[in-house]
Structure 1
Protein backbone atom coordinates (compact mmCIF):
# COMPACT_ATOMS: atom_id res chain seq x y z
CA UNK A 1 0.00 0.00 0.00
CA UNK A 2 1.37 3.42 -0.95
CA UNK A 3 1.97 6.23 1.53
CA UNK A 4 -0.84 8.19 -0.15
CA UNK A 5 -3.27 5.31 0.27
CA UNK A 6 -2.33 4.88 3.92
CA UNK A 7 -2.67 8.62 4.55
CA UNK A 8 -6.08 8.73 2.89
CA UNK A 9 -7.20 5.73 4.89
CA UNK A 10 -6.07 7.31 8.15
CA UNK A 11 -7.79 10.58 7.35
CA UNK A 12 -11.00 8.80 6.37
CA UNK A 13 -10.97 6.81 9.62
CA UNK A 14 -10.52 10.04 11.53
CA UNK A 15 -13.71 11.33 9.94
CA UNK A 16 -11.99 14.20 8.17
CA UNK A 17 -13.15 13.23 4.69
CA UNK A 18 -16.71 12.90 3.36
CA UNK A 19 -18.18 9.47 2.90
CA UNK A 20 -18.30 9.91 -0.88
CA UNK A 21 -15.64 7.98 -2.83
CA UNK A 22 -12.42 9.85 -3.44
CA UNK A 23 -11.34 10.85 -6.92
CA UNK A 24 -7.70 11.69 -7.47
CA UNK A 25 -8.39 14.45 -9.99
CA UNK A 26 -6.67 17.79 -10.27
CA UNK A 27 -8.30 21.06 -9.38
CA UNK A 28 -9.51 23.99 -11.41
CA UNK A 29 -7.92 27.27 -10.40
CA UNK A 30 -10.01 30.22 -9.33
CA UNK A 31 -9.17 32.98 -11.78
CA UNK A 32 -10.21 36.59 -12.21
CA UNK A 33 -12.95 36.60 -14.84
CA UNK A 34 -14.19 39.50 -16.91
CA UNK A 35 -17.72 40.53 -15.97
CA UNK A 36 -18.96 39.48 -19.41
CA UNK A 37 -17.48 35.99 -18.98
CA UNK A 38 -18.91 35.62 -15.49
CA UNK A 39 -22.33 36.73 -16.73
CA UNK A 40 -22.24 34.33 -19.68
CA UNK A 41 -21.28 31.43 -17.41
CA UNK A 42 -23.91 32.37 -14.87
CA UNK A 43 -26.59 32.47 -17.56
CA UNK A 44 -25.41 29.13 -18.93
CA UNK A 45 -25.81 27.30 -15.64
CA UNK A 46 -29.03 29.06 -14.57
CA UNK A 47 -31.02 27.98 -17.61
CA UNK A 48 -33.24 25.23 -16.22
CA UNK A 49 -34.09 23.75 -19.61
CA UNK A 50 -34.44 19.97 -19.19
CA UNK A 51 -32.23 17.70 -21.30
CA UNK A 52 -34.78 17.06 -24.04
CA UNK A 53 -33.04 16.70 -27.41
CA UNK A 54 -34.55 18.18 -30.55
CA UNK A 55 -33.68 17.08 -34.07
CA UNK A 56 -33.77 18.80 -37.42
CA UNK A 57 -34.70 15.64 -39.30
CA UNK A 58 -35.28 11.89 -38.80
CA UNK A 59 -31.71 11.00 -39.77
CA UNK A 60 -30.32 13.16 -36.95
CA UNK A 61 -32.67 11.45 -34.53
CA UNK A 62 -31.60 8.03 -35.81
CA UNK A 63 -27.92 8.94 -35.30
CA UNK A 64 -28.68 10.05 -31.76
CA UNK A 65 -30.54 6.84 -30.96
CA UNK A 66 -27.67 4.80 -32.39
CA UNK A 67 -25.17 6.79 -30.30
CA UNK A 68 -27.29 6.31 -27.18
CA UNK A 69 -27.57 2.56 -27.65
CA UNK A 70 -23.88 2.12 -28.50
CA UNK A 71 -22.66 4.20 -25.56
CA UNK A 72 -25.14 2.52 -23.22
CA UNK A 73 -23.70 -0.88 -24.10
CA UNK A 74 -20.13 0.34 -23.50
CA UNK A 75 -21.01 1.97 -20.19
CA UNK A 76 -22.99 -0.96 -18.81
CA UNK A 77 -20.27 -2.18 -16.44
CA UNK A 78 -19.79 1.24 -14.88
CA UNK A 79 -23.49 2.11 -14.63
CA UNK A 80 -25.40 -1.18 -14.49
CA UNK A 81 -28.87 0.33 -13.95
CA UNK A 82 -30.30 0.88 -17.42
CA UNK A 83 -32.52 3.84 -16.58
CA UNK A 84 -29.73 5.65 -14.71
CA UNK A 85 -27.32 4.93 -17.54
CA UNK A 86 -29.61 6.23 -20.27
CA UNK A 87 -30.54 9.34 -18.30
CA UNK A 88 -26.85 10.00 -17.71
CA UNK A 89 -25.97 9.57 -21.38
CA UNK A 90 -28.90 11.67 -22.56
CA UNK A 91 -27.82 14.45 -20.20
CA UNK A 92 -24.17 14.21 -21.27
CA UNK A 93 -25.23 14.44 -24.91
CA UNK A 94 -27.54 17.39 -24.25
CA UNK A 95 -25.15 19.41 -22.08
CA UNK A 96 -22.13 18.72 -24.28
CA UNK A 97 -23.95 19.75 -27.45
CA UNK A 98 -25.40 22.77 -25.67
CA UNK A 99 -21.85 23.89 -24.85
CA UNK A 100 -20.51 23.08 -28.32
CA UNK A 101 -18.49 20.09 -27.12
CA UNK A 102 -18.21 16.55 -28.42
CA UNK A 103 -20.24 14.22 -26.14
CA UNK A 104 -17.62 11.50 -26.55
CA UNK A 105 -14.89 13.84 -25.37
CA UNK A 106 -16.97 14.73 -22.31
CA UNK A 107 -17.42 11.02 -21.57
CA UNK A 108 -13.65 10.60 -21.82
CA UNK A 109 -13.12 13.48 -19.41
CA UNK A 110 -15.59 11.97 -16.94
CA UNK A 111 -13.81 8.62 -17.24
CA UNK A 112 -10.54 10.26 -16.20
CA UNK A 113 -11.98 12.63 -13.61
CA UNK A 114 -14.38 10.44 -11.64
CA UNK A 115 -14.70 7.05 -13.36
CA UNK A 116 -18.45 7.81 -13.70
CA UNK A 117 -19.01 8.15 -9.95
CA UNK A 118 -21.75 10.64 -9.19
CA UNK A 119 -20.61 11.29 -5.63
CA UNK A 120 -16.85 11.25 -6.22
CA UNK A 121 -14.87 13.79 -4.21
CA UNK A 122 -11.21 14.54 -4.92
CA UNK A 123 -8.55 15.21 -2.31
CA UNK A 124 -8.87 18.92 -3.14
CA UNK A 125 -12.67 18.90 -2.87
CA UNK A 126 -13.75 18.71 -6.52
CA UNK A 127 -17.16 17.08 -6.80
CA UNK A 128 -19.23 14.79 -8.94
CA UNK A 129 -18.94 13.33 -12.41
CA UNK A 130 -16.93 16.22 -13.87
CA UNK A 131 -15.08 17.07 -10.65
CA UNK A 132 -16.26 20.67 -10.42
CA UNK A 133 -14.55 22.74 -7.74
CA UNK A 134 -17.04 24.17 -5.20
CA UNK A 135 -15.79 27.75 -5.61
CA UNK A 136 -17.64 27.87 -8.94
CA UNK A 137 -20.97 27.89 -7.11
CA UNK A 138 -19.93 31.20 -5.54
CA UNK A 139 -18.53 32.68 -8.75
CA UNK A 140 -21.37 31.85 -11.14
CA UNK A 141 -24.04 30.03 -9.13
CA UNK A 142 -26.14 30.32 -6.01
CA UNK A 143 -23.47 29.06 -3.57
CA UNK A 144 -25.23 25.69 -3.23
CA UNK A 145 -22.26 23.34 -3.23
CA UNK A 146 -24.40 20.28 -2.58
CA UNK A 147 -26.04 20.80 -5.97
CA UNK A 148 -22.78 19.71 -7.61
CA UNK A 149 -23.82 16.14 -6.79
CA UNK A 150 -26.94 16.56 -8.92
CA UNK A 151 -26.30 14.93 -12.29
CA UNK A 152 -27.53 17.67 -14.60
CA UNK A 153 -26.14 20.48 -12.46
CA UNK A 154 -22.69 18.90 -12.37
CA UNK A 155 -22.64 18.19 -16.09
CA UNK A 156 -23.90 21.67 -16.90
CA UNK A 157 -21.23 23.33 -14.76
CA UNK A 158 -18.50 21.09 -16.12
CA UNK A 159 -19.42 21.58 -19.77
CA UNK A 160 -19.87 25.35 -19.37
CA UNK A 161 -16.51 25.69 -17.60
CA UNK A 162 -14.69 23.60 -20.20
CA UNK A 163 -16.30 25.66 -22.97
CA UNK A 164 -15.05 28.82 -21.29
CA UNK A 165 -11.52 27.42 -21.05
CA UNK A 166 -11.67 26.36 -24.69
CA UNK A 167 -12.62 29.90 -25.68
CA UNK A 168 -9.86 31.32 -23.46
CA UNK A 169 -7.35 29.06 -25.20
CA UNK A 170 -8.55 30.04 -28.69
CA UNK A 171 -9.92 26.57 -29.39
CA UNK A 172 -6.83 24.67 -28.26
CA UNK A 173 -8.36 21.61 -26.60
CA UNK A 174 -5.03 20.40 -25.21
CA UNK A 175 -4.48 23.63 -23.26
CA UNK A 176 -8.15 23.92 -22.29
CA UNK A 177 -8.10 20.43 -20.78
CA UNK A 178 -4.96 21.28 -18.84
CA UNK A 179 -6.60 24.41 -17.50
CA UNK A 180 -9.72 22.45 -16.55
CA UNK A 181 -7.57 20.11 -14.48
CA UNK A 182 -5.38 22.84 -13.03
CA UNK A 183 -2.33 21.45 -14.83
CA UNK A 184 -2.05 23.70 -17.87
CA UNK A 185 1.11 23.01 -19.86
CA UNK A 186 1.60 19.50 -18.48
CA UNK A 187 0.89 16.59 -20.82
CA UNK A 188 -0.42 13.88 -18.49
CA UNK A 189 -4.01 15.00 -18.05
CA UNK A 190 -4.81 16.13 -21.62
CA UNK A 191 -3.22 12.96 -22.97
CA UNK A 192 -5.29 10.83 -20.58
CA UNK A 193 -8.55 12.50 -21.62
CA UNK A 194 -7.73 12.32 -25.32
CA UNK A 195 -6.88 8.63 -24.94
CA UNK A 196 -10.11 7.98 -23.03
CA UNK A 197 -12.06 9.81 -25.73
CA UNK A 198 -11.16 6.97 -28.10
CA UNK A 199 -13.39 4.68 -26.02
CA UNK A 200 -16.40 6.85 -26.83
CA UNK A 201 -16.05 7.50 -30.55
Structure 2
Protein backbone atom coordinates (compact mmCIF):
# COMPACT_ATOMS: atom_id res chain seq x y z
CA UNK A 1 0.00 0.00 0.00
CA UNK A 2 1.35 3.43 -0.93
CA UNK A 3 2.16 5.87 1.85
CA UNK A 4 -0.43 8.40 0.68
CA UNK A 5 -3.20 5.80 0.98
CA UNK A 6 -2.25 5.42 4.64
CA UNK A 7 -2.19 9.20 4.88
CA UNK A 8 -5.60 9.53 3.23
CA UNK A 9 -7.09 7.12 5.72
CA UNK A 10 -5.39 8.83 8.64
CA UNK A 11 -6.50 12.36 7.71
CA UNK A 12 -9.97 11.49 8.93
CA UNK A 13 -8.67 11.88 12.48
CA UNK A 14 -6.99 15.24 12.04
CA UNK A 15 -7.31 17.55 15.01
CA UNK A 16 -8.11 21.25 14.88
CA UNK A 17 -5.36 23.77 14.05
CA UNK A 18 -3.54 25.17 17.06
CA UNK A 19 -1.30 27.86 15.65
CA UNK A 20 0.30 29.50 12.69
CA UNK A 21 3.81 29.31 11.33
CA UNK A 22 3.91 31.91 8.63
CA UNK A 23 2.19 30.89 5.42
CA UNK A 24 1.46 27.25 6.25
CA UNK A 25 -0.41 26.49 9.43
CA UNK A 26 1.19 24.27 11.97
CA UNK A 27 -1.58 21.85 12.77
CA UNK A 28 -1.99 19.21 15.41
CA UNK A 29 -1.63 15.96 13.52
CA UNK A 30 -2.87 12.57 14.58
CA UNK A 31 -0.02 10.14 15.24
CA UNK A 32 -0.98 8.08 12.19
CA UNK A 33 -0.67 11.13 9.92
CA UNK A 34 2.63 12.17 11.45
CA UNK A 35 3.96 8.63 11.00
CA UNK A 36 2.80 8.45 7.37
CA UNK A 37 4.43 11.81 6.59
CA UNK A 38 7.62 10.85 8.42
CA UNK A 39 7.82 7.62 6.45
CA UNK A 40 7.19 9.52 3.23
CA UNK A 41 10.23 11.74 3.70
CA UNK A 42 12.62 9.16 5.20
CA UNK A 43 13.39 7.16 2.06
CA UNK A 44 16.59 8.76 0.82
CA UNK A 45 16.99 6.71 -2.36
CA UNK A 46 17.92 8.87 -5.34
CA UNK A 47 15.07 9.66 -7.70
CA UNK A 48 15.44 7.05 -10.43
CA UNK A 49 12.28 6.31 -12.38
CA UNK A 50 11.56 2.72 -13.32
CA UNK A 51 9.41 1.80 -16.29
CA UNK A 52 7.82 -1.53 -17.11
CA UNK A 53 7.27 -0.79 -20.77
CA UNK A 54 9.08 1.23 -23.45
CA UNK A 55 6.07 3.47 -24.18
CA UNK A 56 6.09 4.83 -20.62
CA UNK A 57 9.83 5.48 -20.82
CA UNK A 58 9.39 7.25 -24.14
CA UNK A 59 6.62 9.50 -22.72
CA UNK A 60 8.86 10.35 -19.75
CA UNK A 61 11.81 11.19 -22.01
CA UNK A 62 9.59 13.40 -24.18
CA UNK A 63 8.25 15.14 -21.07
CA UNK A 64 11.78 15.66 -19.78
CA UNK A 65 12.96 17.17 -23.08
CA UNK A 66 9.94 19.49 -23.37
CA UNK A 67 10.10 20.68 -19.77
CA UNK A 68 13.86 21.19 -20.00
CA UNK A 69 13.40 23.48 -22.97
CA UNK A 70 10.66 25.46 -21.19
CA UNK A 71 12.75 25.82 -18.04
CA UNK A 72 16.00 26.76 -19.82
CA UNK A 73 15.77 30.49 -18.98
CA UNK A 74 15.06 29.90 -15.28
CA UNK A 75 17.68 27.16 -14.83
CA UNK A 76 20.37 27.76 -17.47
CA UNK A 77 22.77 25.02 -16.32
CA UNK A 78 21.64 21.92 -18.23
CA UNK A 79 22.91 19.35 -15.73
CA UNK A 80 21.19 21.12 -12.82
CA UNK A 81 17.99 21.60 -14.86
CA UNK A 82 17.79 17.90 -15.80
CA UNK A 83 18.50 16.83 -12.23
CA UNK A 84 15.82 19.21 -10.96
CA UNK A 85 13.23 17.95 -13.44
CA UNK A 86 14.04 14.30 -12.78
CA UNK A 87 13.66 14.90 -9.05
CA UNK A 88 10.46 16.94 -9.41
CA UNK A 89 8.91 14.25 -11.64
CA UNK A 90 9.97 11.45 -9.30
CA UNK A 91 8.77 13.13 -6.09
CA UNK A 92 5.49 14.28 -7.63
CA UNK A 93 4.70 10.80 -8.98
CA UNK A 94 5.81 9.21 -5.72
CA UNK A 95 3.25 11.38 -3.90
CA UNK A 96 0.51 10.72 -6.46
CA UNK A 97 0.64 14.27 -7.85
CA UNK A 98 0.88 15.55 -11.39
CA UNK A 99 4.48 16.72 -12.05
CA UNK A 100 3.11 19.74 -13.92
CA UNK A 101 1.16 20.80 -10.84
CA UNK A 102 4.34 20.62 -8.75
CA UNK A 103 6.24 22.70 -11.34
CA UNK A 104 3.42 25.26 -11.34
CA UNK A 105 3.48 25.45 -7.55
CA UNK A 106 7.26 25.95 -7.58
CA UNK A 107 6.88 28.69 -10.19
CA UNK A 108 4.49 30.57 -7.90
CA UNK A 109 6.29 29.81 -4.63
CA UNK A 110 9.96 30.42 -5.45
CA UNK A 111 10.32 31.09 -9.19
CA UNK A 112 12.67 28.04 -9.23
CA UNK A 113 15.12 29.52 -6.73
CA UNK A 114 16.73 26.79 -4.63
CA UNK A 115 17.72 29.14 -1.80
CA UNK A 116 14.57 31.25 -1.72
CA UNK A 117 13.51 32.31 1.77
CA UNK A 118 10.15 34.01 2.24
CA UNK A 119 9.46 36.87 4.59
CA UNK A 120 7.98 34.35 7.04
CA UNK A 121 10.90 31.91 6.73
CA UNK A 122 9.59 29.33 4.21
CA UNK A 123 12.51 27.76 2.38
CA UNK A 124 13.59 26.40 -0.93
CA UNK A 125 11.84 25.54 -4.17
CA UNK A 126 8.52 24.57 -2.59
CA UNK A 127 8.75 27.10 0.26
CA UNK A 128 8.48 24.57 3.05
CA UNK A 129 8.08 26.06 6.51
CA UNK A 130 10.88 25.02 8.89
CA UNK A 131 8.46 23.75 11.56
CA UNK A 132 7.86 20.71 9.34
CA UNK A 133 11.37 19.46 10.10
CA UNK A 134 10.38 19.24 13.77
CA UNK A 135 6.98 17.70 13.08
CA UNK A 136 7.97 14.97 10.61
CA UNK A 137 11.72 15.19 10.12
CA UNK A 138 14.97 15.25 12.05
CA UNK A 139 14.79 18.97 12.99
CA UNK A 140 17.60 19.87 10.57
CA UNK A 141 16.19 22.95 8.84
CA UNK A 142 19.25 23.30 6.64
CA UNK A 143 18.13 20.24 4.68
CA UNK A 144 15.23 22.25 3.29
CA UNK A 145 17.77 23.76 0.87
CA UNK A 146 18.61 20.29 -0.44
CA UNK A 147 16.71 19.85 -3.70
CA UNK A 148 15.42 16.33 -3.14
CA UNK A 149 14.58 16.95 0.52
CA UNK A 150 12.68 20.14 -0.28
CA UNK A 151 10.72 18.55 -3.10
CA UNK A 152 9.97 15.47 -1.03
CA UNK A 153 8.68 17.53 1.91
CA UNK A 154 6.66 19.81 -0.36
CA UNK A 155 5.06 16.97 -2.31
CA UNK A 156 4.29 14.94 0.83
CA UNK A 157 2.70 17.98 2.51
CA UNK A 158 0.66 18.89 -0.56
CA UNK A 159 -0.53 15.28 -0.86
CA UNK A 160 -1.60 15.37 2.79
CA UNK A 161 -3.60 18.54 2.15
CA UNK A 162 -5.23 17.07 -0.97
CA UNK A 163 -6.30 14.09 1.13
CA UNK A 164 -7.49 16.30 3.98
CA UNK A 165 -9.64 18.25 1.54
CA UNK A 166 -11.18 15.12 0.03
CA UNK A 167 -9.41 15.61 -3.31
CA UNK A 168 -10.38 19.29 -3.67
CA UNK A 169 -7.20 20.71 -5.18
CA UNK A 170 -8.36 24.32 -4.86
CA UNK A 171 -8.78 24.03 -1.09
CA UNK A 172 -5.62 21.93 -0.73
CA UNK A 173 -3.56 24.61 -2.47
CA UNK A 174 -5.05 27.27 -0.22
CA UNK A 175 -4.14 25.19 2.80
CA UNK A 176 -0.59 24.68 1.47
CA UNK A 177 -0.20 28.45 1.28
CA UNK A 178 -2.04 29.19 4.52
CA UNK A 179 -4.74 31.05 2.62
CA UNK A 180 -7.52 28.45 2.52
CA UNK A 181 -10.75 29.98 1.24
CA UNK A 182 -9.07 32.86 -0.60
CA UNK A 183 -8.78 32.54 -4.40
CA UNK A 184 -5.53 34.34 -5.25
CA UNK A 185 -3.01 31.62 -4.48
CA UNK A 186 -4.91 28.57 -5.81
CA UNK A 187 -5.77 30.48 -8.98
CA UNK A 188 -2.11 31.47 -9.49
CA UNK A 189 -0.91 27.87 -9.09
CA UNK A 190 -3.64 26.46 -11.32
CA UNK A 191 -2.79 29.05 -13.99
CA UNK A 192 0.93 28.23 -13.71
CA UNK A 193 0.10 24.52 -13.96
CA UNK A 194 -1.23 25.16 -17.46
CA UNK A 195 2.31 26.18 -18.49
CA UNK A 196 3.61 22.77 -17.49
CA UNK A 197 0.99 20.43 -18.98
Runs of 4 or more, structure 1, over 6 Å off, are none
Is 1:88 the counterpart of 2:84? The answer is: yes
Q: How far is the alpha carbon of 1:64 from its aligned partner?
A: 0.1
Aligned position for 2:50: 54
Q: Secondary structure at the match of 2:75?
A: coil
Which runs of structure 2 are paired with 1:47-196 in the superposition (5 Å)? Answer: 47-196=43-192
Q: How far is the alpha carbon of 1:27 from its aligned partner?
A: 1.2
C-alpha distance after superposition, 1:59-108 (max 9, x if no partner): 00000000000000000000000000000000000000000000000000
Which runs of structure 2 are paired with 1:25-44 in the superposition (5 Å)? Answer: 27-44=23-40
CA distance in structure 2 between the aligned counterparts of 1:144 and 1:113, rounded to whole angstroms: 21
User: Superposition RMSD on alpha carbons, in Å?
Assistant: 0.6
Structure 1 segments unaligned to the other structure (5+ residues): 1-25
Q: How many residues align?
A: 176
Greater C-alpha Rg: 1
C-alpha distance after superposition, 1:87-131 (max 9, x if no partner): 000000000000000000000000000000000000000000000
So what's the TM-score if we normalise by structure 1? 0.87
C-alpha distance after superposition, 1:36-61 (max 9, x if no partner): 00000000001112100001200000
